[in-house]
Amino acid sequence: MRSALWYLLLVGMPVLALMGVLRLGQGLDAPRAVHGLYAVTYDSATSGPCIANLTSAQPNELTVAQSGTRLDVRVGDLLLVGAIAGDSVYAAAPGKAFRTASCETLDSVAVTAVVVRTGSERALVGQVMFRGCATCAPARFRALRVPERSSNRGLDA
Instruction: For residue 1, state whether it binds other proteins (rule: CB under 8 A).
Output: no
Query: Quick count: other Cβ atoms within 10 Å of Cβ 143?
Result: 28
Instruction: Give Cα separations from 34 to 21, 29, 57, 81, 117 (angstroms).
Output: 27, 15, 22, 14, 10
Choose, by CB under 8 A, the member of 35, 89, 103, 143 that binds other proteins. Answer: 35
Residue with Cβ nearer other proteins (21 or 101) = 21
Instruction: For residue 73, state whether it binds other proteins (rule: CB under 8 A).
Output: no
Instruction: Please choose, out of 24-32, 85-93, 95-103, 106-114, the segment that lies near other proteins by the rule CB under 8 A.
Output: 24-32
Nearest one of 136, 118, 119, 117 to 128, comparing CA atoms: 136
Question: Of residues 94-153, which lie at the interface with other proteins (CB under 8 A)?
Answer: 149-153
How many residues lie near other proteins (CB under 8 A)?
A: 38
Choose, by CB under 8 A, the member of 1, 26, 45, 101 that binds other proteins. Answer: 26
Residue with Cβ nearer other proteins (18 or 39) = 18
Choose, by CB under 8 A, the member of 17, 52, 97, 146 that binds other proteins. Answer: 17
Instruction: Please choose, out of 9-17, 87-95, 97-105, 134-142, the segment that lies near other proteins by the rule CB under 8 A.
Output: 9-17
Contact positions toward other proteins, by CB under 8 A? 3, 6-7, 10-11, 14-15, 17-18, 21-22, 24-26, 28-35, 65-70, 72, 149-157
